[in-house]
Amino acid sequence: MLSLPATKGFEIGSGFSGTLLTGRDHNDPFRMENGKIRTTTNRSGSI
């Protein structure tokens, strides 16, 4: 995807909208679900 010369940017997770949030708002807090640790949101985009 990055080898395309026309590509200016692409979004993963919250993408470009994450630049408008503070660190506190963009946090991806953890919680327990069925004995497993999960995140409450997907703002990090697995990066």
Query: What pLDDT does 2 receive?
Result: 61
pLDDT band at 46 (very low <50, low <70, confident <90, very high): very low
Beta bridge partners of 9: none
Residue 10: partners with Cβ closer than 8 Å, 6 or more residues away? 1
Residue 47: partners with Cβ closer than 8 Å, 6 or more residues away? 12, 13
Query: What pLDDT does 3 receive?
Result: 67
Do strands 36-39 and 30-33 pair parallel, antiparallel, or not at all (unpaired)? antiparallel
Q: What is the pLDDT of residues 18-45, one digit of tens each?
A: 888 888 888 888 899 999 999 887 766 5
Rounded Cα–Cα distance for residues 14 and 44 (Å): 7
pTM for the full model?
0.44
